[in-house]
Chain A
Amino acid sequence: MLVFPGDVVKDVKSVKGVTVLGPGVAPDGSTVRVTRAGRLHAKPPNTYWVEHDQKRYVPKRGDLVVGIVVKKSGDLLKIDIGGSEPASLSMLAFEGATKKQKPDLQVGDLVYGRLLNAHKEMEPELVCVDSYFKAGKLGPLSNEGFLVTVSLGLVWRLLEAENPILEAVGKAAPFEIAVGMNGRVWVNGRSVKDVLNVVRCLEVAERHDDRTVLDFCKQLK
């Protein structure tokens, strides 16, 4: 259902007096109002949100993002994650990092990290380890790769578990990808041609539905 700012969400259900409101809906007194134009989604029993294909990223706690190092000062890095202010990342928040042995990161390098904290009144905080101090897939991204910026709507599509786009692209040539919730996508492959094929697929996916992208992938050699 398409909704617009100011619309009242009808028949809001709650469980034990609790209703979960996601992006695009906000409480207004005893009613719930829509705050952006888009499609209203409801997940039973009590969750509501509005989906809109945005370009600007607003940091959310727990999001996996691709960031660019913009400043180095002592043990702290400032990382541009596309939000309204740069996030801070401690040099010690990498797997196996100590005061003496820190990761080798320069201004302009890319990192894949998780947002530990993203309160709107405070500077966002990134980490490159999980709660067991293991890196997993997080950490610095190789300089070999290629960075592209896509809309947030495409990121959500790519990250859906059953989405066929990335699998279809992988059939043409193997590649490595890091999709950030902030709309930044890092791609690496065996050759420049493989990388560019992935980038072209992402450009097609930006404007067309999944089926068109799959047809496009079949044409890739």
Chain B
Amino acid sequence: MSKLKSSCKLGILSRPDGSVLFSQDETTVVAGVYGPVESKANKALVEKACVEAHFRPKSGLPGVKDRLNESIIRNVCEAAIATAMYPRTSVVVVIQEMQNNGQLISCALNAACLALLDSGIDMKCMFAAVTCFIHKDESLVFTPPINEDQVKAMFMFVFDSVEKSIIASHTDGSFSVEQYKDALSLCKEECANMFDFFKKSLTIK
């Protein structure tokens, strides 16, 4: 099984507090983080920071699917950021899709993690997302087949860096319990590579 090729460039945008151009395989996104910034009166929380995520598609206005991505990104980021250290403020994560080759959501999450690390906002842990696919012939792969009809199921897992435990899991398609367990253990192995990649990218900077 071939590993995913990741590459990134930190701090590419001048206005946000943290930014990254991140690509995994053919999938590419740009992520920017602003925070902690003043939050709107109706969104401000007294005891912790409010995390907002914005997902911008390649063209046009965000649709229903982009809203789903936003909510996934928001939930995962909220779990990782030390929100209690910034009461009455907002942390805004903006993701711009550049190219999608199947693993868009895991790519967006990894980019969000790198942008948060770049911004220097306090975090409880890092997180890494991995996507894998089940082929029509029941084989488990990281890179999706060229034809979308060949995909039987898709798994996306997010892990934290401290306990290596699962933070989020999203699935699509039909699969058996065994296949789910196989995919989970496979992604868990791969997430260690992602954390190594994050550390290497930040060291170079």
Contacts and interface: CB of A to CB of B under 8 A. Distances in A.
Contacts of B121: 36, 56
Interface string A1-20: 01011100000000000000
Interface of A: 2, 4-6, 24, 26, 33, 35-38, 52-56, 58, 84-85, 120-121
Nearest to B16: A55
B88 A5 contact: no
A35 B87 contact: no
Interface residues of B, number: 31
B120 A52 contact: yes
Interface in B63-88: 80, 82, 85-88
Q: Which 4 pairs, one residue from A and one from B, show the smallest C-beta to C-beta distance?
A: A6-B125, A5-B123, A35-B122, A54-B120
Contacts of B202: 2, 4, 37
Q: Is the interface of A mostly helix, strand, loop or mixed?
A: loop
Nearest to B163: A6
Given A35-B122, A36-B123, A37-B202, A6 B82 contact: no
Nearest to A52: B120
Contacts of B86: 58, 84, 120
B25 interface: no
A84 B125 contact: no
B36 A5 contact: no
B23 interface: no
